[in-house]
Amino acid sequence: MDHKHPATPSPGAASPASGHAPQDRTPRDGKLRPVESGVGRNADGSPRTPLLDRIRSPFDLRNLSAEQLAQVADELRAETLDTVSTTGGHLGASLGVVELTVALHAVFDTPRDRLIWDVGHQTYPHKILTERRHRIRTLRQPGGLSGFTRRSESEYDPFGAAHSSTSISAGLGMATAHDLLAHEDPALKDRHVIAVIGDGAISAGMAYEAMNNAGSSGARLIVVLNDNEMSIAPPVGAMSNYLSRLMSSRSFLNLRDFAGRVAKRLPQPIERTAKRADEFARGILTGGTLFEELGFYYVGPIDGHNMDHLLPILRNLREADEKGPVLLHVITQKGRGYAPAEASGDKFHAVSKFNVVTGEQTKAPPGPPTYTSVFAQGLLAAAEADPRIVAITAAMPSGTGLEKFAKKYPDRFFDVGIAEQHAVTFAAGMATEGMKPFCAIYSTFLQRAYDQVVHDVVLQNLPVRFAIDRAGLVGADGATHAGSFDLNYLGCLPNMTIMAPSDELELLHMTATAAAYDAGPIAFRYPRGNGSGLVLPAAGEIIEIGRGRVLREAGRQSGREKGGIALLSLGTRLDDVLRAADELAARGLPPTVADARFMKPLDTALIEQLARNHAVLITVEEGAAGGFGAAVMHHLAHTGLLDNVRFRPMTLPDTLIDHNTPAAQIAEAGLSPRHVVRMALRALGVPDEAAEGLSVGRSGPTSY
C-alpha cells in the first residue's frame, strides 16, 4: 500500500512553498464522505483489525515486515477513530502519529527504552499498542484512561504530560541518569530515550532551554520533531516559518539522504569525510540547521507516514554509536487518514463524540453562552471604545474566545505561540507604553508564567489585565488542566486585584472594570463551560473595586445571641450556595448569602459585618485551600472577630481530582449544595443523624 505522504514528492520534484500543503480533500460537493481506509468493518460495525488483534504488546511488532507494520498502522488508525467517535477527545493529533507510533515501538525496545510524548494528547495509538487496548474506550471517562500520558497508568508512560514542551527536559534528565547509573547497571549505557515533540510545543521557551542544555551535554537523546504545521490553530512565529523552509528544501533532503546513506557504509575515517560532506550540505543549503547550532545532529525532514522512511532511519538512529543528541525531523499531517479531520480548520484537534461515517459531531444541545464567549463579548465592547486595548493569547485563540477579536482588530491581537512566560512579559512591555493588554490564559497554563507575573508585572505595578479562563475544575482533561491554584498564587501578591464573577453578567461587569482599571495588575477568573443563561446587555458596567454584595439576609434566629448562618461565596460556586441556602431555609435556618466578588482587595466591611451578626460564617470557593477563605480567616483573626464566629472555609480538597464530569468532580471536591448544608448544620452543632435527608455520605472530602 502506498504510504507516500503529499509531503514527499518524488525526489527532485518541486515542492509547494509550504513544503507539504496537505492535499485539499474536501469533496467538491462539500459533503463529507465515509472514511477512505483499507480497513473493513465487522458485522457489529467495529473495525476489522486482524493484525492489530495479534499485537498484545510492542514486542509483537518487532518481527513484522514494513508491509505488515503499515497494515498495523491502518488498523490502528481505524481503531483510534472508532474509539474517539465514542469517547470524544484529541483526535487530530493522534491520527497524525499513527505510523510514527508503530515505527517507534517496532524499532525501540519499549518500555525499557523510554518513549516520551510531549503534551501527550496524541497518545491514543500509543495506548492501544501498549497493553491498554482493552481499556481504550474508557478514555477520559470517569475511572477510565487519562487523555494524556501518566506514569501511574502504565510502564510505557515514563513521564506524565499535558502541559506542553516538557519532553526534552524530561528525556535529558533520564538520559543523564542512565549515564550516571551505568556503573551500577552497564545495560543502561545502551538504553535509548526518545522524546516526541510537536512543532507547536517546540516553540515554547522551555524546549530551547532543554535543547541548549542537551546540545552541550553529549547525552544520547533522540528528539523526534513531529512537524504537522499545526498547533491547535495554525502555528505562529519564526520557528514555524523556519521549519517550513527546512521542509521545502527538497534538494536538502535528497543530498542529505544520499550523504547519510553513504556515510553508513564506509569505513570509519572515510565515514568522517562523508559526515563532513553531510554537514557541508546542511551548511550550504540551509546555513546549518538551527538544531545543529544547538548541538544536535539533525536528520530529515522525512515522511512521517511512510514506513519505508521511518523504519530504516529509526533503526540507524538506534544503532548509531555516536555520542550526543539527535533531532529527527518528521513531517506528518494532523488528522491524517480521516477526511472530515483533514478538511477541518483545526484538524479535529479536540472533538466530542461523532459519527465516524459523516464526521458530524454529536454536539450537546446549544446551552447558554459559555463564560469564554461572554468574556469575548465584553472585551469586544471595551475595545470598541478604547483603541489602546489589545488582546494576547499563547496559542489558544479559540479556547480563550479571542478569534472574533482577532478578526475585528487584527492589529491589536497577538498570538505569541505556546509561550505563556513571554506572553506575560510582552504584555508588561506593552503596558509600559500605555497600552491596555488583556492576557487571556487558562488558569493552569498561567502557572508557567508565575515569575513573569511577579517580577515583570506586580513588582512594577503594571496595568496588565489577566483574563483567567478554565478556573476551577475542568472535567475530562482532569487534574493537569484544573485551574485550582490561581487564587493562591495570585492572592499572595501585593498590588494585584483579583475578581471572580458569580455569573455571566458579573463577568461582563468585571471585563469592563478591568478595561477601565489602570492602577495596577488586575485578574478575573472564570470557569470552563456555559453560563446560567441570563439575558445580557451588550456591555458590562464598572463595579466598585473591593466591594461585595449581599443577596439574601438571614432571618434573625430567636434564642440565639445573634443571627444564624452566613454563606460568603466567591465566583460561580454561588449557584450551588444559593441551592444550599434554599435547603437551609426549608429547615427553618434561612442564611445570609453574599457574593464576595473580590478575593483582593477583600471587602473587609462586609466580612466584619457577617462575622459580627452571625453564629456561623462559611466561605466557599472553587480553589485550593489557602486562597480566598484563608484571606478572610487572616482578616478575622487580626481583627479579633474570629474569636466569636464559627468560621468554616470550604475549598477544593488537598488532592488531585481525576477526569470526570464537572458535577461529579464538584461532588468529589465536597463543594456541592449538600456539602454546604451539612457544613452549616455541623457548625451549628446539629448532629449528622439529625440532618436527615442529606444524601452526602462521608465520601466527599470536605475541608473543615
Ligand X SMILES: CC(=O)[C@@H](O)[C@H](O)COP(=O)(O)O
Ligand Y SMILES: Cc1ncc(C[n+]2csc(CCOP(=O)(O)OP(=O)(O)O)c2C)c(N)n1
* Binding to ligand X, residues 396-415 (CB under 6 A): 399
Indicate the length of the chain as a whole number: 704
CB of 94 to ligand Y, least distance (A): 8
Q: Which residues are catalytic?
A: 334, 420, 448
* Binding to ligand Y, residues 155-184 (CB under 6 A): 162-164
In one-letter notation, the amino acid at residue 105 is: H
Q: Which of ligand X, ligand Y, Mg ion, none lies near 140, with the C-beta cut-off 5 to 8 A by kind?
A: none
Which triple of cell numbers denotes residue 248? 521545502
Task: Pick the closest to residue 22 from 347, 306, 246 (CA basis).
Answer: 347
Nearer to Mg ion, 90 or 481 (CB): 90
Is residue 477 near ligand X by the rule CB under 6 A? yes
* Binding to ligand Y, residues 91-120 (CB under 6 A): 93, 96, 119
C-alpha count within 13 angstroms, C-beta hemisphere, residue 597: 23
Q: Which of ligand X, ligand Y, Mg ion, none lies near 528, with the C-beta cut-off 5 to 8 A by kind?
A: ligand X
Nearer to ligand X, 381 or 396 (CB): 396
CB of 288 to Mg ion, least distance (A): 24
Q: Which of Mg ion, ligand Y, ligand X, none lies near 477, with the C-beta cut-off 5 to 8 A by kind?
A: ligand X
Q: Which residues contact 258 (CB under 8 A, 6 or more apart)?
A: none
Q: Which of Mg ion, ligand Y, ligand X, none lies near 93, with the C-beta cut-off 5 to 8 A by kind?
A: ligand Y
The answer to whether 46 touches 75, Cβ cutoff 8 Å, is: no
Nearer to ligand Y, 209 or 575 (CB): 209
x/- contact string, 214-233, with Mg ion (CB under 5 A)? Answer: --------------x-x---
Q: Is the dihedral of CA 248, 254, 257, 263 positive or negative?
A: negative
Nearer to ligand X, 162 or 578 (CB): 162
Binding part of the chain for ligand Y, among 139-147, 226-234, 597-605, 690-698 by CB under 6 A, reads 226-234
The answer to whether 548 touches 569, Cβ cutoff 8 Å, is: no
CB of 553 to Mg ion, least distance (A): 55
How far is the C-alpha of 488 from the C-alpha of 626, rounded, in Å? 6
How far is the C-alpha of 18 from the C-alpha of 252, rounded, in Å? 15
Q: What are phi and psi of 383, to 5 degrees?
A: -70, -30
Which triple of cell numbers denotes residue 210? 532543554
The reply to whether omega before 111 is within 30° of 0 (cis) is: yes
Ligand-binding annotation for 420, yes or no, is yes
How far is the C-alpha of 216 from the C-alpha of 205, rounded, in Å? 17
x/- contact string, 408-447, with ligand Y (CB under 6 A)? Answer: ----------x--------------------------x--
Ligand-binding annotation for 163, yes or no, is yes
User: Residue 116's beta-bridge partner residues?
Assistant: 195
On the 0-12 / 13-18 / 19+ scale of CB atoms within 10 A, 117 is buried
How far is the C-alpha of 239 from the C-alpha of 342, rounded, in Å? 23
The only residue of 172, 232, 317, 566 in contact with ligand Y, by rule CB under 6 A: 232
HEC profile of 515-527: HHCCCCCEEEECC
Binding part of the chain for ligand Y, among 16-24, 229-237, 461-469, 519-527 by CB under 6 A, reads 229-237
How far is the C-alpha of 27 from the C-alpha of 31, rounded, in Å? 6
How far is the C-alpha of 298 from the C-alpha of 288, rounded, in Å? 9
Is residue 235 near ligand X by the rule CB under 6 A? no
In one-letter notation, the amino acid at residue 677 is: V
The answer to whether 44 touches 88, Cβ cutoff 8 Å, is: no
Is residue 230 near ligand Y by the rule CB under 6 A? yes
CB of 200 to Mg ion, least distance (A): 5
Is residue 420 near ligand X by the rule CB under 6 A? no
CB of 197 to ligand Y, least distance (A): 7
x/- contact string, 168-207, with Mg ion (CB under 5 A)? Answer: ------------------------------xxx-------
Ligand-binding annotation for 200, yes or no, is yes
Compute CA distances 472 → 75, 308, 466, 590, whole Å. 39, 47, 16, 28
- Residue nearest ligand X, CB atom distance: 399
The DSSP output letter for 458 is: I
Is residue 121 near ligand Y by the rule CB under 6 A? yes
The answer to whether 525 touches 486, Cβ cutoff 8 Å, is: yes
CB of 122 to ligand Y, least distance (A): 5
User: Residue 563's beta-bridge partner residues?
Assistant: 614
Task: Pick the closest to residue 620 from 668, 675, 685, 658 (CA basis).
Answer: 675
Ligand-binding annotation for 495, yes or no, is no
Ligand-binding annotation for 228, yes or no, is yes
Is residue 192 near ligand Y by the rule CB under 6 A? no
Residue in this structure with the C-alpha cell 508588561, named with its chain if needed:
428
Nearer to ligand Y, 377 or 443 (CB): 443
The answer to whether 446 touches 394, Cβ cutoff 8 Å, is: no
Nearer to Mg ion, 84 or 500 (CB): 84
The only residue of 194, 294, 350, 464 in contact with ligand X, by rule CB under 6 A: 350
Q: Which residues contact 576 (CB under 8 A, 6 or more apart)?
A: 620, 666, 671, 672, 673, 676
Nearer to ligand X, 304 or 527 (CB): 527
Ligand-binding annotation for 622, yes or no, is no
Is residue 140 near ligand Y by the rule CB under 6 A? no
Nearer to Mg ion, 347 or 525 (CB): 347
How far is the C-alpha of 424 from the C-alpha of 431, rounded, in Å? 10
CB atoms inside a 10 Å sphere around CB 163: 21
The only residue of 77, 305, 436, 528 in contact with ligand X, by rule CB under 6 A: 528
The only residue of 105, 448, 600, 614 in contact with ligand Y, by rule CB under 6 A: 448
Annotated binding site: 121, 162-164, 199-201, 228, 338, 420
Annotated binding site for Mg(2+): 199, 228
Residues that bind ligand X (CB under 6 A): 90, 119, 121, 162, 232, 350, 399, 470, 474, 477, 481, 528
Residues that bind ligand Y (CB under 6 A): 93, 96, 119, 121-122, 162-164, 198-201, 226, 228, 230-232, 334, 394-396, 418, 445, 448
Annotated binding site for thiamine diphosphate: 121, 162-164, 200-201, 228, 338, 420
